[in-house]
Each structure stands twice: as structure tokens, then as C-alpha cells.
Structure 1
Amino acid sequence: MAAKKDPALPDIAVRPPNLPEMWHSTVNWFSIHALQILVAVGVGVVIYLTLATLRQFGSRLNGKPGDTLGLPHVIGRAIARTTHFFMALVAARLVVSYANPPQMVLKTVIFLFTIAAVFQAAIWAREIILGLIERKTVGDEGHGETLANAMGLIRVLVTFGLFAIAAVVVLDNLGVNVTGLVAGLGIGGIAIGLAAQGIFSDLFAALSIIFDKPFRRGEVITYDQTTARVEKIGLKSTRLRAMTGEKKVISNANLLQKEITSLHTLEQRRVTFSLGIIYQTPDEKADTIPSILKHIVEGEGFHFVNAGLVRFGASSLDFELNFDVPDPDRHDYFQSRHRVGLAIWQRFKAEGIEFAYPTQTSFTAAPDGRTIMPYPDADPVDERARRFT
């Protein structure tokens, strides 16, 4: 029993390709348009050689490894990545119409040219994006290992993203319905982002540290109550060495949320000492304390700022000393403060200047308010009587 034909369907006869017929039409095309074909091939070769020359010029513009990476170098590197397949298809697309080819040959050339152009545009875009990123971070010797790891990951993400877009564009040109594919990729990307949001947060924080450069490896920074030297900036966390010797590890995202003070750019760092001496210190010695402190600071090789009496404490005369440590990244700040403090203690001991400590004196009084001794007066004892007692 023969199957009934659906009247809603167009009457299209689906036949397998007739190879003898295709061969015959191609031979006829070559025999009829031989001159046009030869001219088209010649022009196509010239176009290809011209594009190859431009590609070679891009390679020269790219320069040698280690050269300063500027915008011309980025463009040159992108041009140098032009594929031979794309150049051949460009030449074929420009000359194919002149030779009056069969419809099947023309469609094939246009189809291949579309694929080559889309993927070549993705390659150019990838090289330009990566080149601009590398140009942003050029000369950053403090992030060498981190930058290498980050660039590897960035290269994978950029390549995947661009070639995925290129594949969608090619499929769309082929007449494939890509709406569902794009929606699926979007939903999948959102799911992956939500599942790994902590990792991506630290990763983008690491990229922010590399590109924005709030600090570099080897710098001394202060955050919260911690002062430490940056030892390594990783993709997930930053490792620091505290001034007291402990190793600190903090996630990049958490670190960037804090207020960071970098001590690397300081030409000098201010040190403040608070000194308290007893009230019984003679006036002339108290008056010489600022000059003594200046002599100590300058003797240790630091810059004296000022020193003097600042307040009358509960149990001490309070003096304050300010001096600057030059090049704090080379001079250890804490060791410098230790040296000066020890020198002050030794000099004050030699001068007979006593440091104050919390003291309290109690006085006794009679009912009428007069100050009295806390014990009754005693008669003096005769020395001779004491000897015989």
C-alpha cells in the first residue's frame, strides 16, 4: 500500500547527487570559461601574495621577545596570526564571480569564506585582547609567577568565549536555530558562576591586584592590626610575612575589602617615643632632656624632628620624641626603634634621670585637718643606755 503524500508539504524531489553530471558540468565550465578561470587564478594568486606580505609585515611589527610591548606590537601580533586558509579563501571569494562558476561552486566558496572569516576574526580579537592585557602588566616584575598563571587562565577563558561565539555565528549562517543553544550556554554559565562564586571572586581579586597594582610582591603593607611584607600573590590567596615572623595567608577578595596602607613608597617613616620622668627631677636636668634626645637620635644616624614636655601626668612629667627613619624599606623599623630606645635608657641612667612609674603617696591628718605623722613622737634613746640594754 503506497503512503499518502501530505498536501501541506512542498513537492521537492530529493535525489542523490549525480556525480557524472557534476563532472560533466565542471568540464564544460573549464572548457567554456578557461580564459576567465586563468585570469581569476592569476589575480587570486596576486591577492594571496599581497596578504602574505602584509602578514610578514605584521610579524616584523610584532618585534622580538623582550621588546617593549606597545600598541603597534599588539596590532602586529594580531596580523601575524592570519591563517593561510583565510588568505586563500579571501582571494577565492574576490575572484570567483569573475569566472562565472556553477552555482554549487559559488555557494561552496561563499560557505567556506564565511567560516574562515568568522574564525579568523575570533583569532584577531583574541590576540588583541591578550596583547592589551599583557601591555597593561608589562614591566611588573613583582607579579611574574602570578601573572603567568593568570595569563594562562585568561587565555583559556578568552579563547573559549570567542570561539564559542564564532561557532554560534557559523551555525546561524548555516540556518541552524541557535536560540536553544545560546539559552543553554547562558544557563550553564550562570550555574557554574553560582557554584564557584568564591573561587571566581578571589580570581578576579587577584587580577585586580595584578592590573591595578595596589601593592606588589616585596612591599610592606598594613591592614587591620597587621603589618607584613608581601611574599607571594596567588590566584586564590596572598601570602605575607608579619614583622614578628608569622606567615599570614588571606584570600584576595578579603584583602581588597580592607583599608591597605603601603609603606613601600615612604621616603622616611616617623617614630614616636613617649617618655615619663619623675617629678623629683632637677630643673636643669629636665631642661636638657630635648638636647640629649636629639644627640642620641642623630648619633644613631636618624633624622631628629622634635622633642619636649607635652603633659603633666598623674605620676610623671611626660616628654615626647619624634624622629624619622630614612628608607624604611631597607632599614628595619622595629630594629631602629629598639636601638634608639636602648640608647635613651642607657643615657638617662648615666645622667641620673629616673623614669617614672605609677606611685601613690598617702598623708594622715588630725580631726582638724592638720597633717600629722602616722605614728606618735618617741623620745630619743640615750646612746649609753642603748649599749647597756
Structure 2
Amino acid sequence: MLLTTTKATPSHFNRQLATFFGDTPDWIADHWLSILIATGIAAGIVLVLHTLRSWGMRLCRRSEPGHTNWYTIFGRTIARTGNFFILMVAIRLVVGYAQTPPLLDKTVSFLFTIATAFQAAIWVREVIFGLIEHRTRGENASESLSSAIGIIRLLISIALFAIALVMVLSNIGVNVTGLIAGLGVGGIAIGLAAQGIFGDLIAALSILFDRPFRVGDNIKFDQTQGTVEGIGLKSTRVRAFDGELHVISNRQLLDKEIQNLTDRHKIRLLFKIGVAYETPPDILDRLPQILKEIVEANGATAVRHGFSGFGASSLDYELIAEVASGDWSIAHPTRDRIATGILRKFAEEGISIPYPTQTAFTAAPDGKLIMPYAEVQPVRRVDSAPGENG
């Protein structure tokens, strides 16, 4: 609703005030019954709205402490309804029935516009805050995360109340085009000056809402693997297994491929084994079963165990063993036992694991092949002299 206004001067204001006080007694005398009925209806509306607000408070108390769900968000939003808004809603609904004077009607409309704009901003703010808490529940209450959420809340509050103020000014007839343009230019200037900070802020919001990892998770990115110690407004801190603390900006971190190893419940171990080409075929037929038995004897599961290809100097087999645990302190000893079991079983079966060898041949200037080893002279038979024992 757009209200037209005239230039406010002292004389104009005094005339309006005199008209208001002059018309009010006549209006009350002529419509006293309608005013009483409207007042009663307004009181009933106020009572109903207060009851709804109390119901919203009870919804908040139904949820568990520290647990934010949709009941909590809805209840908290209703509970944040202000008394001024409740009063103006009641008056606005009955003001037409009481046939109020034009100046009083305009005043009620103006106050109702202010109450509605700022109450809507409060409701939207509570919904956004509730969503943020809902998405970030279960996070460790680190100081950096609390600071990040606090700054995000401040920015959201400023933005919402600025929009509400612009709407109020627009509805009372103020030309807000220049104000909006100025805010836009100022916002662009601030955004260009602090685009790195805002980029990290958006990345922090992505981490909070998308949850690629949380505080305490074990992650791997690039060549670094460690535990997330803190998620801040600008950076995330990861403690590597060697004790080093890696501080990386949120924007750069999300640009990388992140492996979250926290929920890993199994580890697969890969063995590539080569056996000599001279191995008898009957042993080669039994080799997959031999590998499977070695894996199962060490408490793992053989996922793949068979021939993979013809190598340059060996027949290549691939063995994949699965350990039902995400803990490498369990997987490492299992891998060692499997490797030792393979060597022990191959020694018992006479299976040779060859290693790559190369022989270099050279040629003389005349093209004659020179062997890489000394030529062995032929053994000459020497007959025994007469009278000597052979």
C-alpha cells in the first residue's frame, strides 16, 4: 500500500492535529457502540494471537535440549511475534468497522505497515537461524565455528532489517530509488574489495550446510591426510598424522577432491603377484584357491584372486583382500600376515617369484656378436705318458 504524503510544515501539522482533536469527540459520540464492539473484537483477536504465541513457546519446549528440529523452528518463529505487531493487527482488522476518521485511519495504516515489515524480518531471520542450527547440530562447539555462525547471523540480520526499512520508506511515499542505487553501488564496492573474504564465507556456508566433513572427521586431500580440528569463517584446520597443523582456506579446500575416511568400514588390500613361466600348469590351476585360502586364514575376505595378464618375465596374478574394519592399525598387520603366508606357501609348493632380468649384447666393429661372458675354452683330452698312471 503506497501512501501519498505532502510536505510536512509546522502549520500543516498544526492544522492536522487540530482537525484530529476536533473530530475525535464527534466520532466517539456518533459511533460509541461500534467503537465498543470493535474494541471487544480487537481484545479477542489479541487474546487469540497471544494464545498462538504461547503455543509456539510450548513447541520449543517439546524438543530435546540442543536438538533443533522443525517443531523447534516453527515454534521459535511464532514465539518471536511482538506485542506491537499483535496490537496493530487487531486494530487494523477492526478499524473499518469503527468508521474511524481519515487521519486516524492513515495513522493506523502507517503503524501497521511498520509493524508488519519488521515482524516479517524477525520471522524470516528466525527461520534462517533455525535452519543453520539444524544443519550444524552435532558439530563440536569450537570457538571458530561459533564465531563464523555469529557473523553470519549478524549479516543476515542487517540485510533483512535493511530490506524492511526500505519497504517502510517506500510505503510512506519516500523515493527510495536513490537509496537502493547507493546501497547497490556500496555493496558492489565492498564486494570487490573483500571478494576473497566473501568467497571464504560462502565456502564456510557450503561446509556448514553441505557437510562434506565435520570437526573430528578424518579426511584426505591432495597429499595430506589428517583430522579436522576446526572449521572457521575463513579457513579450516587439519591436523596431519605426523603432527603438523595444516591451515587451508575454505574456498581452496572445496576446490580440491576431498576424501572423507571417517565412515569407512572396510579396507581393501591389493597384491600383485608374478610367478615364473616355468610353473607347472597343475599348480597354476590351484593357485587362485591357494591365494583365497591364505587370505581367509588371516581373517580377511578374498574379493578377487586370479590371473590378470602375461607379464614381461612372469605370469601376473591379482589378489584383493578385504578387511572388515576402517582402522589401519588392524589392516596393516593383516596385510603383513597375508604377504608372509604367500611367501611361505610358495616355498612349500616350489612356486618361484621371478624378478625382471636383462642381458646386454654388444657387437664388434666387424659385426661379430660379443657375448656378455667370457668364452669357455674347450677341454682338451691329454693322453697319459707310457709308464704313468692315468
Which residue is equivalent to 2:377?
376
Are 1:128 and 2:127 an aligned pair?
yes
C-alpha displacement of 1:213: 3.1
The SS at the match of 1:121 is: helix
Alignment partners' CA distance in 1, 2:110 and 2:377: 121
Task: Tell whether the 8 Å contact from 1:126 to 1:162 is kept in structure 2 after alignment.
Answer: yes
Kindly tell me: are residues 16 and 70 of structure 1, through their superposed partners in 2, closer, same or farther at Cα, counting changes over 3 Å?
closer
Are 1:84 and 2:83 an aligned pair?
yes
- Across the two proteins, how many residue pairs are aligned to each other? 370
Which residue is equivalent to 1:111?
110
Alignment partners' CA distance in 1, 2:83 and 2:362: 107
Give CA deviations for 1:109-128 in whole Å, capped at 9, x if unaligned: 22222211111121122223
Alignment partners' CA distance in 2, 1:335 and 1:149: 43
The SS at the match of 1:240 is: strand
Task: Tell whether the 8 Å contact from 1:364 to 1:374 is kept in structure 2 after alignment.
Answer: no
Which residue is equivalent to 1:252?
250
Are 1:47 and 2:48 an aligned pair?
no
Kindly tell me: are residues 375 and 109 of structure 1, through their superposed partners in 2, closer, same or farther at Cα, counting changes over 3 Å?
same
Alignment partners' CA distance in 1, 2:224 and 2:69: 39
Kindly tell me: are residues 369 and 177 of structure 1, through their superposed partners in 2, closer, same or farther at Cα, counting changes over 3 Å?
closer
The 10-residue stretch of structure 1 (16-25 or 192-201) with the greater mean CA deviation from structure 2: 16-25
**Gap regions ≥5 residues in structure 2:** 1-6, 383-390
Alignment partners' CA distance in 1, 2:123 and 2:92: 20
C-alpha displacement of 1:164: 0.6
Specify the code of the residue in structure 2 equivalent to 1:202: D
Q: Aligned ranges for residues 255-274 of structure 1 at < 5 Å?
A: 255-264=253-262, 266-274=264-272
The SS at the match of 2:319 is: strand
Which residue is equivalent to 2:92?
93
The SS at the match of 2:127 is: helix
Given candidates 197, 200, 213, the residue that maps to 2:198 is 200
Which residue is equivalent to 2:4?
none
Give CA deviations for 1:145-196 in whole Å, capped at 9, x if unaligned: 4764554333222221111111011111222211111001111111122222
Alignment partners' CA distance in 2, 1:92 and 1:363: 107
Kindly tell me: are residues 357 and 226 of structure 1, through their superposed partners in 2, closer, same or farther at Cα, counting changes over 3 Å?
farther
The ranges of structure 1 where at least 4 consecutive aligned residues each deviate by more than 6 angstroms after the TM superposition are 18-22, 278-288, 349-354, 362-372, 378-381
C-alpha displacement of 1:309: 5.2
The 10-residue stretch of structure 1 (62-71 or 253-262) with the greater mean CA deviation from structure 2: 62-71
The SS at the match of 1:76 is: helix
Kindly tell me: are residues 231 and 350 of structure 1, through their superposed partners in 2, closer, same or farther at Cα, counting changes over 3 Å?
farther
Q: Which has the higher contact order (CA 8 A, sep 6+)?
A: 2
Task: Tell whether the 8 Å contact from 2:306 to 2:317 is kept in structure 1 after alignment.
Answer: yes
Task: Tell whether the 8 Å contact from 1:315 to 1:358 is kept in structure 2 after alignment.
Answer: yes
Alignment partners' CA distance in 2, 1:119 and 1:363: 91
Give CA deviations for 1:259-311 in whole Å, capped at 9, x if unaligned: 44444555433211123456787888877765554444333321123445545
C-alpha displacement of 1:333: 4.6
Which residue is equivalent to 1:14?
11
Task: Tell whether the 8 Å contact from 1:272 to 1:323 is kept in structure 2 after alignment.
Answer: yes
Are 1:161 and 2:159 an aligned pair?
yes
Alignment partners' CA distance in 2, 1:27 and 1:364: 125
Specify the code of the residue in structure 1 equivalent to 2:46: Y
Alignment partners' CA distance in 2, 1:71 and 1:364: 82
Specify the code of the residue in structure 1 equivalent to 2:299: G
Alignment partners' CA distance in 1, 2:254 and 2:43: 57
Task: Tell whether the 8 Å contact from 2:361 to 2:369 is kept in structure 1 after alignment.
Answer: no
Specify the code of the residue in structure 1 equivalent to 2:112: F
Kindly tell me: are residues 87 and 353 of structure 1, through their superposed partners in 2, closer, same or farther at Cα, counting changes over 3 Å?
same
Given candidates 119, 123, 141, the residue that maps to 2:138 is 141
Kindly tell me: are residues 308 and 177 of structure 1, through their superposed partners in 2, closer, same or farther at Cα, counting changes over 3 Å?
closer
Which residue is equivalent to 1:237?
235
The 10-residue stretch of structure 1 (37-46 or 17-26) with the greater mean CA deviation from structure 2: 17-26
Alignment partners' CA distance in 1, 2:308 and 2:34: 101
Kindly tell me: are residues 211 and 258 of structure 1, through their superposed partners in 2, closer, same or farther at Cα, counting changes over 3 Å?
same
Task: Tell whether the 8 Å contact from 1:307 to 1:319 is kept in structure 2 after alignment.
Answer: yes
Give CA deviations for 1:220-263 in whole Å, capped at 9, x if unaligned: 44444555554444332333345666544433322333344444
The SS at the match of 1:258 is: coil
Kindly tell me: are residues 312 and 349 of structure 1, through their superposed partners in 2, closer, same or farther at Cα, counting changes over 3 Å?
same
The SS at the match of 1:274 is: strand
Task: Tell whether the 8 Å contact from 2:273 to 2:316 is kept in structure 1 after alignment.
Answer: yes
Report the TM-score when normalising by structure 1: 0.74
Kindly tell me: are residues 193 and 13 of structure 1, through their superposed partners in 2, closer, same or farther at Cα, counting changes over 3 Å?
closer
Report the TM-score when normalising by structure 2: 0.74
Kindly tell me: are residues 378 and 163 of structure 1, through their superposed partners in 2, closer, same or farther at Cα, counting changes over 3 Å?
same
C-alpha displacement of 1:56: 1.5
Alignment partners' CA distance in 1, 2:21 and 2:362: 130
Specify the code of the residue in structure 1 equivalent to 2:14: P
**Gap regions ≥5 residues in structure 1:** 1-9, 382-389
Kindly tell me: are residues 377 and 249 of structure 1, through their superposed partners in 2, closer, same or farther at Cα, counting changes over 3 Å?
farther
